[in-house]
């Protein structure tokens, strides 16, 4: 007798801050993989706008950037039918659980977070309490949805470890409540570096705009930035030590074309860096063209965007509330009689 019960997919949770236009680094390092994960996992995605205010935001620009980021995620291929894709501030359970988890997290644990040290140095005029405690909000984000996996890069391992420690601690004090999440290292994806200083990660906060490609750069801007990309004096397209600039360009080319480094080396054997930079620029332009076209369509249809995020909020809320209710009961809060 056949068992027709559908197999329960494992749940993946990932969130990204909506502060400005996403870069090619965001896309190849994470966002492209978000789309692929939808086929094999039960995906919960969100724009982490609560996290964004640890750095002071201009309200009008913040609203605009959030809508733009939502449209870009849909343009990339996030399917609101397949995935729950919501805006974090629309689900109040995140802030509520974050407060509870603050009380189950040690001061010493938070003070060891390297991102707090980095951001404090960068924003010395605004070292606020939110900057210190936001790993608790990040833990709440993950644990509310009983995520089995969280896609992570090297810079997020520490935060995931803290979320796991908090979950274990809470489960140990009370009883199993939270799923203890595991990191999911993307099969595809790369750590994309600055085009002007390939020892640093590509970042939209870089003062030198030639160092990063945004998802909305024009073909002309993209080609110009790649032609100016820092390389080395060897003039040989090969992956190796002391060739950070070329390694980075090869990583970008490999991510988009699917070619191995060995295949890329063969393709450009005997050809100079000028040819290679042009080829990298062209594949990036071709990759981004349909995404940009879809994004522009979506930005003209504000009603559709509003419909998507308005319908997503109660779907996310329903999952989050179930977890939060368990937590509130176990901690000992008096339930609201209804």
Asked whether residue 291 is domain-assigned, the answer is: yes
What is the CATH classification number for the domain harbouring 263? 1.10.240.10
How many Cβ atoms are within 10 Å of 294's Cβ, its own excluded? 16
Asked whether residue 63 falls in the same domain as residue 185, the answer is yes
pLDDT score at 120: 74
Instruction: Give the confidence band of 188 by pLDDT, cuts at 50, 70, 90.
Output: low
Averaged over 155-183, what is the pLDDT?
A: 93
Asked whether residue 201 is domain-assigned, the answer is: no
Per the model's pLDDT, the better-predicted residue between 153 and 34 turns out to be: 34
Could you tell me the end-to-end alpha-carbon distance of the chain, in angstroms, rounded to an integer?
A: 45
pLDDT at residue 157 above 60?
yes
Comparing 67-76, 149-158, 160-169, 268-277, the range with the smallest average pLDDT is: 149-158
pLDDT at residue 215 above 50?
yes
Per the model's pLDDT, the better-predicted residue between 181 and 338 turns out to be: 181
Per the model's pLDDT, the better-predicted residue between 191 and 230 turns out to be: 230
What is the CATH classification number for the domain harbouring 41? 3.40.50.620
Asked whether residue 166 falls in the same domain as residue 247, the answer is no
Instruction: Give the confidence band of 29 by pLDDT, cuts at 50, 70, 90.
Output: confident
Asked whether residue 1 is domain-assigned, the answer is: no
Asked whether residue 291 falls in the same domain as residue 223, the answer is yes
Averaged over 167-171, what is the pLDDT?
A: 97
Asked whether residue 218 falls in the same domain as residue 179, the answer is no
- As a whole-number percent, the residues of the chain with pLDDT over 70 amount to 96
pLDDT score at 1: 47
Active site residue 307: no
Asked whether residue 19 falls in the same domain as residue 162, the answer is yes
Asked whether residue 3 is domain-assigned, the answer is: no
Find the catalytic residue in 32, 119, 243, 277.
119
pLDDT score at 127: 84
Asked whether residue 47 falls in the same domain as residue 22, the answer is yes
Active site residue 201: yes
Compute CA 4 distance to the chain's CA centroid, rounded to the nearest angstrom.
35
Find the catalytic residue in 10, 82, 204, 227.
204
Burial of residue 298 (CB within 10 Å: 0-12, 13-18, 19+) is buried
Asked whether residue 197 is domain-assigned, the answer is: no
Could you tell me which residues are beta bridge partners of residue 85? 45
pLDDT score at 189: 60
Tokens of 198: 């390939």
pLDDT at residue 116 above 80?
no
pLDDT at residue 167 above 80?
yes
Find the catalytic residue in 9, 82, 200, 201.
201
pLDDT at residue 7 above 90?
no
Residue with token string 């080319």 = 253
pLDDT score at 106: 93
Asked whether residue 97 falls in the same domain as residue 147, the answer is yes
Instruction: Give the confidence band of 169 by pLDDT, cuts at 50, 70, 90.
Output: very high
Per the model's pLDDT, the better-predicted residue between 118 and 197 turns out to be: 197
Asked whether residue 111 falls in the same domain as residue 222, the answer is no
Can you give the residue range of the structural domain that contains 15? 11-189+302-331
Task: Give, in degrees to the nearest 5, the angle at Cα 103 between 335 and 182.
Answer: 95
Asked whether residue 123 falls in the same domain as residue 147, the answer is yes
Asked whether residue 227 is domain-assigned, the answer is: yes
pLDDT 10s digits, 78-103: 999 999 999 999 999 999 999 999 99
Per the model's pLDDT, the better-predicted residue between 188 and 196 turns out to be: 196
Asked whether residue 153 falls in the same domain as residue 241, the answer is no
Average pLDDT over the chain, rounded to an integer? 91
pLDDT score at 187: 62
Averaged over 131-156, what is the pLDDT?
A: 90
Asked whether residue 283 falls in the same domain as residue 142, the answer is no
Give me the torsion for CA of 120, 122, 125, 130, rounded to 10°. Answer: -40
Burial of residue 220 (CB within 10 Å: 0-12, 13-18, 19+) is exposed
pLDDT score at 21: 87
Q: How far apart are CA 335 and CA 338, in angstroms?
A: 9
Task: Give, in degrees to the nearest 5, the angle at Cα 91 between 135 and 10.
Answer: 70
Active site residue 10: no
Instruction: Give the confidence band of 118 by pLDDT, cuts at 50, 70, 90.
Output: confident
The total of structural domains in the chain comes to 2
Asked whether residue 276 falls in the same domain as residue 308, the answer is no
């Amino acid at each position: 007798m056949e068992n027709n019960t559908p197999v329960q997919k494992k749940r993946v949770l990932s969130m990204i801050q909506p502060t400005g236009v996403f870069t090619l680094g965001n896309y190849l390092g994470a966002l492209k993989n978000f789309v692929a994960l939808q086929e094999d996992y039960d995906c919960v995605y969100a724009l982490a706008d609560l996290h964004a205010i640890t750095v002071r935001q201009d309200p009008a620009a913040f609203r605009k950037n959030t809508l733009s980021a939502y449209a870009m995620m849909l343009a990339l291929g996030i399917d609101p039918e397949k995935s729950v894709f919501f805006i974090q501030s629309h689900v109040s359970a995140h802030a509520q659980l974050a407060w509870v988890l603050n009380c189950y997290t040690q001061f010493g644990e938070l003070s060891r977070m390297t991102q707090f040290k980095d951001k404090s140095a960068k924003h010395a005029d605004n070292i606020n309490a939110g900057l210190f405690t936001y790993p608790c909000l990040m833990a709440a984000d993950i644990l509310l949805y009983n995520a089995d996996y969280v896609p992570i890069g090297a810079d997020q391992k520490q935060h995931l470890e803290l979320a796991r420690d908090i979950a274990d601690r809470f489960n140990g004090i009370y009883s199993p409540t939270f799923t203890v999440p595991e990191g999911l290292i993307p099969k595809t994806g790369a750590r994309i570096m600055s085009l002007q200083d390939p020892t640093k990660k590509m970042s939209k906060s870089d003062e030198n705009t030639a160092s990063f490609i945004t998802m909305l750069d024009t073909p002309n801007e993209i080609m110009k930035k790649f032609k100016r990309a820092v390389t080395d004096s060897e003039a040989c397209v090969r992956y190796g030590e002391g060739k950070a600039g070329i390694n980075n360009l090869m990583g970008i080319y490999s991510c988009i074309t699917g070619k191995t480094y060995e295949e890329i080396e063969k393709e450009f054997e005997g050809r100079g860096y000028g040819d290679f930079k042009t080829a990298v620029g062209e594949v990036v332009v071709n990759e981004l063209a349909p995404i940009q076209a879809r994004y522009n369509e979506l930005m003209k249809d504000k009603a559709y965007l509003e419909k998507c995020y308005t319908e997503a909020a109660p779907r996310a809320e329903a999952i989050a509330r179930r977890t939060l209710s368990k937590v509130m009961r176990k901690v000992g809060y008096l339930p609201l009689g209804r």
